[in-house]
């Protein structure tokens, strides 16, 4: 661990032709305690220089006088490759001219070898780490401002040139774009979602992804940097940069997949809940092509509603399903006919057919027509007093919770069910789907969030609905169902306790046995004796 419990973030390279001195230097301090880790040691500057492009250290400690290439020549070459790298020179002589030249080249400081000890080195490490942290944060802030200006006005050649220069000086390359949203937003006819809440969510996402600790972890572990810009009140645009350009298209996609996964995990840790991410690795050779990629990802993002919230998708996963052909005249006439005089069963069948079609083909135009049809159907039902007004009011109140196409149709189907009088002892369609999900997947590691993603709903909201209708929480119902199923398996004699535990989703047979006894009142080994109970 580093200072204040943080991980070691910065790479350091050590260079000295005195191998004993080099070994002593490597073990003189606990580098991680000061936020560093030793990425390499070298016996001369020439060999070290060959590895600079690959290692890309943040900090270099080097002797001044070495064979093949002295320290000052080495520093000059390094500054051409890594202009942001900090360098500490070691010398056996108090040479003012050397020190002056070194400072002119951009060396951070120098130490006399006879004064080098744990205390003096620790002091230098603390100063240099603080300086690098400040510089890194300032650099990221400046790059984010440059990116925001570029995205809002890509025709500004000066803004583009400044961003390109800033990326080059930071020794990173643009590799791909991500669009991050708290959840997909559906544009309802004559209905608006609370955009203030979405704006707040965007700010929280931006803050989480721009955090110093998260950025440093990505820099060290993945060689990645995320430049985040709140592009609209709903979207955070993220330019993913890397210290190394991916070697192939598949490598670029893998890099972007890792970056999206890391971003998703970070937002979950910082603000809770989930985010929806769409990314593309097709960047081209310059920022003009990069902007085209960004615009394309931004234009495709609305189609994420067909997959539901909390998903991470590569842009081609959506484009393969997009088909913006309008409804044929016969289909529109059928919708109008059902709206005017269709029975509830006919309306339900049409809604199911539309939902099935949207699972195969993504069309925002058709979806809008379908939403207008739903609205007109409910208006007609309300005018004809076919249900209490409260039923319709509940539909519109819950409408913003529909984060996906599937969630929208589930909500509409539930409303039609209430109108038809299917309340009583039966559950709503969404709860029926949740129960079916449990019954089909109880042997896997599942949660309310998994069920919510399938329905296109928020997890906390679904759990609230579940508890209201089933009179117990999702987790309690799942555990009870698993225990009953486990009892059936054990009573049949087909499996032992460990096998039964695995079949109902428990990795630990010991924990399964404790839970089984709490629910059944006896250990699982005695299940056969209670066959008749």
pLDDT at residue 189, rounded to an integer: 66
Q: Does 154 fall in a domain?
A: no
Same domain flag for 412 and 477? no
At residue 392, the 3 state secondary structure works out as helix
- Tokens encoding 62: 């080097």
d(CA 515, CA 480): 10
Last residue of a domain, one of 254, 284, 319: 319
pLDDT at residue 3, rounded to an integer: 39
Same domain flag for 417 and 493? no
At residue 226, the 3 state secondary structure works out as strand
pLDDT at residue 427, rounded to an integer: 62
Last residue of a domain, one of 423, 447, 481: 423
Query: pLDDT tier at 220 (50, 70, 90 boundaries)?
Result: low
Domain coverage including residue 304: 172-319
Q: Does 231 fall in a domain?
A: yes
Same domain flag for 393 and 491? no
Query: pLDDT tier at 1 (50, 70, 90 boundaries)?
Result: very low
At residue 344, the 3 state secondary structure works out as helix
pLDDT at residue 498, rounded to an integer: 93
Per mean pLDDT, which of 283-287, 468-472, 506-510 is the most reliable?
506-510
> Which letter does DSSP use for residue 422 in this model?
-
Torsional sign, CA 38, 43, 45, 50: negative
Place of tokens 């057919």: 353
CB within 8 Å of 94: residues ≥ 6 apart: 112
Strand partners, 59: 12, 86
Q: Does 140 fall in a domain?
A: no
pLDDT greater than 50 at residue 4: no
Same domain flag for 279 and 414? no
Interhelix angle for 405-419 vs 364-383, to 10°?
Answer: 20
Same domain flag for 217 and 238? yes
d(CA 36, CA 13): 10
When pLDDT is averaged across residues 69-81 and rounded to a whole number, the result is 85
d(CA 407, CA 423): 20
pTM of the model: 0.57
Same domain flag for 280 and 336? no
- Give the distance from CA 442 to its chain's centroid: 27
Q: Does 156 fall in a domain?
A: no
Strand partners, 10: 36
Same domain flag for 176 and 315? yes
pLDDT greater than 90 at residue 106: no
- Within 10 A of 106 (CB to CB), how many other CB atoms are there? 15
Query: pLDDT tier at 197 (50, 70, 90 boundaries)?
Result: low
What CATH code is carried by the domain that includes residue 236? 3.30.70
Same domain flag for 339 and 205? no
Residue of 400 and 189 predicted with greater confidence: 400
What CATH code is carried by the domain that includes residue 516? 1.10.10.60
Query: pLDDT tier at 198 (50, 70, 90 boundaries)?
Result: low
DSSP string, 164-211: HHHHHHTT-EEEEEEEEESS----BTTB---HHHHHHHHHHHHHHHT-
pLDDT greater than 90 at residue 121: yes
Q: Does 443 fall in a domain?
A: yes
At residue 90, the 3 state secondary structure works out as strand
Edge-to-edge strand ranges of the sheet holding 224-230? 224-230, 236-242, 173-181, 276-280, 312-314
pLDDT at residue 8, rounded to an integer: 44
Range in 183-197, 290-304, 425-439, 502-516 with the lowest mean pLDDT: 183-197
Q: Does 145 fall in a domain?
A: no
Last residue of a domain, one of 77, 104, 134: 134
Same domain flag for 417 and 433? no
Q: Is there a contact between 347 and 355 (Cβ–Cβ < 8 Å)?
A: no
Q: Does 153 fall in a domain?
A: no
pLDDT at residue 423, rounded to an integer: 36
At residue 276, the 3 state secondary structure works out as strand
Same domain flag for 187 and 299? yes
Q: Is there a contact between 90 and 67 (Cβ–Cβ < 8 Å)?
A: no
Same domain flag for 195 and 311? yes
**What letters, b where the CB count within 10 A reaches 16 and e where it falls short, cover 409-418?**
bbbbbbbbbb
pLDDT greater than 70 at residue 432: yes
What CATH code is carried by the domain that includes residue 100? 3.40.50.2300
d(CA 474, CA 462): 9
Residue percentage of the chain with pLDDT more than 70: 84
When pLDDT is averaged across residues 181-191 and rounded to a whole number, the result is 68
pLDDT at residue 421, rounded to an integer: 63
The tally of domains found in the chain comes to 4
pLDDT at residue 218, rounded to an integer: 60
pLDDT at residue 2, rounded to an integer: 40
When pLDDT is averaged across residues 448-474 and rounded to a whole number, the result is 88
Query: pLDDT tier at 403 (50, 70, 90 boundaries)?
Result: confident
Half-sphere exposure of 101 (CA within 13 A, CB side): 12
Query: pLDDT tier at 40 (50, 70, 90 boundaries)?
Result: very high
At residue 66, the 3 state secondary structure works out as coil
Q: Does 414 fall in a domain?
A: yes
How would you class 222 by CB atoms within 10 Å of its CB: exposed for 0-12, middle for 13-18, buried for 19 or more?
middle
pLDDT greater than 90 at residue 501: yes
Range in 17-26, 162-171, 514-523 with the lowest mean pLDDT: 162-171
d(CA 364, CA 409): 15
Same domain flag for 436 and 416? no
pLDDT greater than 60 at residue 178: yes
């Amino acid at each position: 661990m580093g200072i204040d419990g943080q991980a070691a973030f910065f790479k350091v390279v050590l260079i000295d032709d005195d191998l004993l001195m080099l070994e002593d230097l490597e073990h003189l301090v606990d580098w991680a305690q000061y936020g560093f880790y030793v990425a390499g040691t070298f016996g001369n500057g020439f060999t070290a220089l060959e590895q600079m492009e690959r290692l890309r250290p943040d900090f270099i400690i080097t002797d001044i006088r070495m064979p093949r290439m002295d320290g000052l020549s080495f520093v000059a070459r390094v500054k051409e490759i890594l202009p942001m790298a900090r360098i500490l020179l070691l010398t056996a002589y108090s040479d003012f001219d050397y020190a002056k030249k070194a400072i002119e080249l951009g060396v951070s400081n120098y130490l006399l070898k006879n004064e080098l000890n744990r205390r003096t080195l620790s002091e230098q490490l603390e100063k240099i780490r603080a300086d690098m942290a400040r510089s890194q944060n300032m650099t990221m802030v400046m790059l984010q401002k440059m990116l925001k200006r570029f995205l809002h006005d890509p025709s500004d050649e000066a803004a583009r040139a400044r961003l390109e220069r800033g990326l080059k000086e930071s020794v990173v390359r643009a590799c791909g774009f991500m669009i991050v949203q708290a959840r997909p937003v559906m544009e309802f006819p004559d209905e608006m979602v609370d955009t203030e809440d979405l704006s707040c969510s965007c700010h929280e996402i931006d803050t989480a992804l721009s955090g110093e600790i998260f950025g440093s972890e990505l820099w060290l572990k993945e060689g990645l940097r995320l430049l985040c810009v709140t592009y609209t009140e709903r979207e955070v645009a993220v330019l993913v940069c890397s210290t190394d350009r991916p070697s192939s298209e598949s490598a670029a996609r893998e890099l972007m997949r890792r970056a999206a996964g890391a971003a998703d995990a970070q937002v979950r840790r910082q603000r809770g809940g989930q985010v929806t991410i769409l990314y593309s690795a097709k960047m081209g050779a310059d920022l003009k092509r990069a902007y085209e990629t960004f615009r394309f990802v931004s234009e495709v993002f609305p189609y994420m509603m067909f997959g539901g919230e909390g998903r991470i998708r590569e842009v081609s996963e959506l484009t393969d399903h997009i088909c913006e052909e309008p409804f044929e005249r016969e289909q529109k006439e059928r919708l109008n006919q059902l709206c005017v005089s269709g029975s509830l069963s006919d309306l339900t069948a049409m809604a199911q057919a539309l939902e099935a079609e949207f699972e195969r083909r993504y069309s925002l135009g058709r979806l809008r027509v379908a939403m207008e049809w739903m609205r007109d159907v409910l208006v007609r039902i309300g005018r004809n007093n076919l249900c209490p007004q409260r039923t319709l009011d509940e539909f519109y109140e819950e409408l913003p919770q529909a984060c996906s196409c599937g969630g929208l149709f589930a909500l509409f189907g539930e409303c039609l069910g209430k109108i038809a009088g299917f309340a009583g002892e039966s559950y709503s369609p969404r709860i029926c789907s949740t129960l079916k999900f449990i019954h089909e997947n109880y042997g896997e590691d599942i949660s309310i969030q998994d069920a919510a993603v399938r329905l296109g709903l928020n997890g906390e909201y679904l759990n609230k609905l579940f508890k209201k209708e089933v009179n117990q929480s999702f987790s309690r119902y799942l555990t009870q169902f698993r225990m009953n199923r486990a009892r059936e398996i054990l009573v049949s004699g087909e499996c032992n306790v460990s096998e039964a535990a695995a079949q109902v989703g428990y990795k630990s047979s010991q924990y399964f046995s404790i839970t089984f006894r709490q629910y059944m009142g006896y250990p699982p080994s005695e299940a056969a004796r209670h066959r008749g109970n």
